[in-house]
């Protein structure tokens, strides 16, 4: 009987120590909290966008507006929400009549999933920390809008229509960073 109590005590103690060590290690990382972009991007509105991935280069050569989301939608709740709104609008408008490209890139670790090399390069090129970030890039490859954290579907739609040269009345509840 004493052995059983002693064994339970030792097991509980070992489990507690291991749990404490693992939890303290995970909180000591430099990984940003998901859904919390930090600071300001290196790239500013009005500057040439670093179009360093094949999909971005192709879209620019084809003269398309680019919506570039830097964030991992299956890990970050704000990334997921923004991704769903944008994908819905892209499907509904058939990519704004095939004039807009929506490109998403994971730029930071998400649990045990490392970002692809292109995502790491985009993070460096745009100088961002945390996620999500949304860059709207015009047909000439110039950054025209930067959204930090989240953009609603109506603001996204209005901004895209403006970049496409179409002024339509779209109700807006928050303003983009210009």
> What is the domain extent for residue 8?
1-30
100-105 and 133-137 beta bridge pairing:
unpaired
Cβ(35)–Cβ(76) below 8 Å: yes
Cis preceding-peptide flag for 132 (omega within 30 of 0): yes
Residue bearing the bigger pLDDT, 19 or 3: 3
Domain count, the chain: 2
pLDDT on residue 72: 78
**Residue 153 included in any domain:** yes
Q: Is it the case that residue 101 has pLDDT exceeding 90?
A: yes
Which of the four pLDDT bands, split at 50, 70 and 90, describes residue 36? confident
Nearest to 39 by CA among 107, 118, 130, 144: 130
Residue 170 maps to a domain: no
Asked whether residue 172 carries a pLDDT value surpassing 90, the answer given is no
| Domain contains 129 | yes
CA distances to 104, 106, 116, 160 from 35, in Å: 15, 13, 19, 23
User: Is 77 in the same domain as 152?
Assistant: yes
**Is 20 part of any domain?**
yes
Q: Are residue 14 and residue 73 in the same domain, yes or no?
A: no
Q: pLDDT averaged over the chain?
A: 79
Mean local confidence (pLDDT), 110-126: 84
Both 23 and 62 in one domain: the answer is no
């Amino acid at each position: 009987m004493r052995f059983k109590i002693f064994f339970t005590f030792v097991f509980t103690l070992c489990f507690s120590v291991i749990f404490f060590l693992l939890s303290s290690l995970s909180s000591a990382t430099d990984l940003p909290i998901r859904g919390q972009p930090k600071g300001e991007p290196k790239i500013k509105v009005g500057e040439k966008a670093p179009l360093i991935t094949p999909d971005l280069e192709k879209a620019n050569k084809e003269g398309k507006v680019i919506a570039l989301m830097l964030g991992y939608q299956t890990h970050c709740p704000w990334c997921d929400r923004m991704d769903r709104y944008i994908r819905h609008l892209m499907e509904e408008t058939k990519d704004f009549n095939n004039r807009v490209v929506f490109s998403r890139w994971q730029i930071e670790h998400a649990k045990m999933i490392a970002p692809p090399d292109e995502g790491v390069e985009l993070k460096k090129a745009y100088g961002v920390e945390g996620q999500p970030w949304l860059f709207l890039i015009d047909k000439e490859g110039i950054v025209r809008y930067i959204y930090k954290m989240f953009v609603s579907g109506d603001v996204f739609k209005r901004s895209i229509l403006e970049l496409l040269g179409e002024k339509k009345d779209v109700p807006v509840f928050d303003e983009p960073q210009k």
